[in-house]
Structure formats: structure tokens, C-alpha cells
Amino acid sequence: MGNASGRDEDAAAVDGDGADVEDGGGDSSERDFPSYGSGGANHVRRACSVGVVGGGAAAGSPPGSPGHSLSPRMFVPQTPVPPLQRAADVTPVFNQILMDEQEEYDGPPQKEIPALIVWTLGGKNVYVEGSWDNWKSRKAMQKSGKDHSLLLVLPAGVYRYRFVVDGERRCLPDLPCEIDAMGNAVNLLDVNDYVPESVESVAEFEPPPSPDSSYSFQAPEDKDFAKEPPVLPSQLHLGVLNSQNSEESCARPQHIVLNHLFIEKGWGAHPLVSLGLTHRFESKYVTVVLYKPIER
């Protein structure tokens, strides 16, 4: 009878597993007989998935834009339903019902991309209308200098739109446009979140040949290993104690000196010791030099 929870199959539907959705999913027995109880929930949800793929209200969406899909973990009332039909057999009326039913559920958030629309040909009151909301509303454009502009945040896809300039429908001829079924010119807006890469612009990288001198070093011998190591790593010879106090910012210390205690005995002719410590506090570096008397 299929998966009672419906999660596995729903995940496939949401992810757009075409074969599964087109078939209606499950085995043939599920399509031939009505199902009650836990399996019913599964059918309702699968039917919704069919609605997404079909036409109906989804036709208003731009081609290729993601439909209104269901969360795989959504709770659905378990009510008896007729057997699931193939997508091709679903009538437009039933399809519309499915779409209406589907509107009750919030799908996972779609990635929305900002798109700037600009009208450059003057006018006093400029509005824009488009297929992003099925031509339902007009949005006022903001005047900036001679131009009018509007920033929309839309899911990826291709949209049709036109301008209404001082009450007259217009389109910009120098932008992509097409003629609709009514013979009206509309502009096209391609919203996508990738930047096309120009392979030609990437210069070939030729690594320089290694210099011959880099192969001529002598292998270390016993006498090299017999040498005393340096008393202090060379990086720590940086003068934490000797750098100037200043009201302005000091140079950013190298990370190697952080949390090392530097000691300098005697200060001129004075019997004292200066202790220097550089530490980081969040994104700031502080070098503190403490002057202490030498106990006699």
C-alpha cells in the first residue's frame, strides 16, 4: 500500500523526480482501488504534486520557475480520496481544484533574486506590470534623475512585463521583447542567480621553470647537525619592548609574538625590569609593557 508516512515519495516529488510524478508513483494496485486510512494521506499529497507539474494557475508562473511545492514533513488530513489518475488524464477543472487546495500549504522558501527594472524614456508617472503576479497589479517606479527605476525581488525565471507611462502602455525597444497573443509588445526579464563565465578571459597559467640554482644545495652533513640551535627563533627578535609608545596605532604585530613574555633587565642605570606582552582581544592587539623594580 505504499509508504504510510509519505516522506520518501514526497521528497522525490519535491525534488522533481519526473518519472515518479508523471506515473503518479507507487504500484498499479494503488491506481486501481480507492485507499482509506493512512495511505490516503499519501494520495492527497501526491495529487498535489501532480497539480504543480500541470497547467492551471501555475501557467502564470514563468517557464522554468519552481512551482509551489509542499514540504515533505507537512501534516495532511487523512481523508478518503478517489484513486489517483495519471497526469495526462487529470481534467483542467480537477487540476484547478488541486492547485487551490495546494495554496493552503507553504512550500519551502524559494531563492529570490533582486532584479532592477529601469525606464529611461521620460514621463511623469511611470508604473510597471508583469507576469510575476499574473499582471494583477501595477507598481509605481521611483524617479531618479531622468530615469524611473524599481527593484523587484523575484524567484529565478523569465518574466514578461511592460511599462505604463502617463496612462499609456509602453515597452523599451532596446531591451529583449516579444509580441504577445494580443499583438502587444512586452519586454522580457531573465532573472537568474549565476554569472556566466567567459572562459576566453582566463589567461593560461604558465608556471615559471625552477632556477637551476635551486638544485645545487649540498645535502646537510654531520657538522651541520652538530651546530647549536638558535637561542631564540628569529621571528621573536621583533622589538615589542623597544617599539615607540605612540598615540597613533602601532603596526599590527605578527601572530608569532602573541602571548610571549619579553623581559629586559635594567633600564638605563635603573635596577628594574620591563616585561612586555602582546595579546589579542577580539580583533584588537594590545602590547603592555610593565616596569617593575628588581627586588634587592
Partner 1 sequence: MVMQRFSWPYGGRSASLCGSFTGWREYPMGLVGAEFQVVFDLPPGVYQYRFLVDGVWRCDETKPFVCDEYGLISNEVLVENNVQPVVQPEPSIRGTNLDEGTVLTTMPPESSSQNPGVQIAVFRHVVSGILLHNTIYEVVPLSSKLAVLDTQLPVKQAFKIMHDEGLALVPLWDDHQGTITGMLTALDFVLMLRKLQRNIRVTGNEELEMHPISAWKEAKLQFYGGPDGAAMQRRPLIHVKDSDSLADVALTIIRNEISSVPIFKCMPDSSGVPFLNLATLQGILKFLCSKLQEQAGGCSLLHNQLLSIPIGTWSPHTGRSSSRHLRTLLLSSPLNTCLDFLLEDRVSSIPIVDDKGALHDVYSLSDIMALAKNDVYARIELEQVTVQNALDVQYQVHGRRQCYTCLQTNTLLEVLEGLSIPGVRRLVVIEQSTRFVEGIISLRDIFTFLLG
Name the residues that contact partner 1, by CB under 8 A: 243-253, 259, 267-268, 270, 272, 277, 279, 281-293
Least distance in Å: CB of 150 to partner 1? 14
As a whole number of angstroms, the distance between CA 41 and CA 35 comes to 9
CA neighbor of 16 nearest in space, from 50, 61, 40: 50
Helix axes of 7-15 and 38-53: crossing angle, nearest 10 degrees: 0
As a whole number of angstroms, the distance between CA 8 and CA 154 comes to 30
Least distance in Å: CB of 238 to partner 1? 13
As a whole number of angstroms, the distance between CA 226 and CA 250 comes to 40
| Backbone CA torsion sign across 218, 219, 221, 224 | positive
Choose between 198 and 246: whose C-beta lies nearer to partner 1.
Answer: 246
Q: Which stretch of DSSP H or E encloses residue 222? A: helix 222-226
Choose between 166 and 190: whose C-beta lies nearer to partner 1.
Answer: 166
Choose between 34 and 239: whose C-beta lies nearer to partner 1.
Answer: 239
Q: Is the Cβ–Cβ distance between 98 and 47 less than 8 Å?
A: yes
Choose between 216 and 259: whose C-beta lies nearer to partner 1.
Answer: 259
Least distance in Å: CB of 141 to partner 1? 12
As a whole number of angstroms, the distance between CA 152 and CA 24 comes to 36
Choose between 113 and 241: whose C-beta lies nearer to partner 1.
Answer: 241
Choose between 20 and 147: whose C-beta lies nearer to partner 1.
Answer: 147
Question: Which grid cell sits at 236?
Answer: 621573536
Q: Which residues pair with 126 in a beta bridge?
A: 165
Q: Is the Cβ–Cβ distance between 95 and 86 less than 8 Å?
A: no
Least distance in Å: CB of 233 to partner 1? 21
Q: Which stretch of DSSP H or E encloses residue 278? A: strand 270-281
Choose between 151 and 179: whose C-beta lies nearer to partner 1.
Answer: 151
10 Å CB burial of residue 81 (0-12, 13-18, 19+) is middle
Least distance in Å: CB of 162 to partner 1? 23
Choose between 87 and 241: whose C-beta lies nearer to partner 1.
Answer: 241
> Strand, coil or helix: what is 92?
helix
Least distance in Å: CB of 140 to partner 1? 9
Least distance in Å: CB of 139 to partner 1? 14
Least distance in Å: CB of 271 to partner 1? 9
| Distances from the Cα of 101 to the Cα of 15, 52, 69, 70, 292, angstroms | 20, 11, 12, 11, 80
